[in-house]
Amino acid sequence: MSSIMSSYFAALILGVPIGTWVGERYGWNAIFGMTATVVILLSVVIYAFLPSLGARHSGQAGNVLFLNQLRIYAGFLTFSTTRNALLSAFFASAGTMGFLAYVGVWLYDAFGISSKQVGFVFLVSGAAALLASPFAGSLSDRIGKRRQFILSNISLAIFLIILPGSNEKITLFGTCGLISLSAAFRQGPMEALLTEVVATAMRGTFVALKNSFSQLGIALAALASGLLFERSGYLAVCLLCAAANMAAAGMIFLLRDKRT
């Protein structure tokens, strides 16, 4: 799972610098056209090469009523283990998005860093996370996904608090790299852990709801971070994200299943 999650950090290495270059050379509207083209090509590749395993109970899929599906989702929210897992995904996504959404604006305001230099920050941070991600998965299999997720979120919160106080570019780059490393060490274990809290037959339904919680966390974090950034500056944004990451660690700590 950590190896798969490393693709997100590869996207930071390639996507942000390329997007910055395209935006400055051809205009920011061109980025949307480029992204749409990549998505279309990706759809073709998935259809052609990704194997279709099928669902175990695909014959019953058409018989599942909408109200029954809502009862299943309500059951996830009622049971403490799945509810804590969903809240952990919510807070983890919120703690990441708030930081990322306004880091570029803050870098420009505080250090006068151009768009190209912001792309370089993501390049360095993404490279560090990409190299660490497979190792993070191997480590979590030895010390436990739950423990590694909690420790990684604590370190992520600490570095987020330190980041706004960076006065030199060397310190800034180093702190951003440590933030990326902390995210890399938690991402794979988190995804693997959250798929283990339900039975295999319910995994698809649970992951779909988990993704909805993650997207909700992203949306609310972006909204809250925007308000905080305008009124109180980037430090307030980082404090919010640090609190969200600590909340994510707390939710995983409360999981009843101690095997993970």
Of the CATH numbers 1.20.210.10, 1.20.120.10, 3.20.10.10, 1.20.1250.20, which one belongs to the domain with range 2-55+65-253? 1.20.1250.20
pLDDT at 190: 86
- Which residues neighbour 86 within 8 Å (Cβ) at sequence distance 6 or greater? 76, 77, 209, 210, 213
Helix, strand or coil for residue 144? coil
CA distance 246 to 145: 16
235, 109 in Cβ contact below 8 A? no
More confident call, 199 vs 11 = 199
With 0-12 CB in 10 A as exposed, 13-18 as middle and 19+ as buried, what is 106?
A: buried
pLDDT over threshold 60, residue 77: yes
252, 84 in Cβ contact below 8 A? yes
pLDDT over threshold 90, residue 40: yes
- Which residues neighbour 257 within 8 Å (Cβ) at sequence distance 6 or greater? 81, 196, 197
Single pTM value for the model: 0.75
pLDDT at 214: 92
CA distance 72 to 90: 19
**pLDDT tens, 195-249?**
888 888 888 889 889 999 999 999 999 999 999 999 999 999 999 999 999 999 9
* Helices of type H across the chain: 2-26, 29-49, 66-78, 80-111, 115-143, 145-162, 169-194, 203-232, 234-253
Tell me how far the alpha carbon of residue 195 is from its chain's centroid.
16
193, 144 in Cβ contact below 8 A? no
CA distance 178 to 223: 25
**pLDDT tens, 110-150?**
788 776 677 777 777 777 777 777 787 788 888 888 899 99
The CB density around residue 252, as the number of other CB atoms within 10 Å, is: 26
pLDDT over threshold 70, residue 165: yes
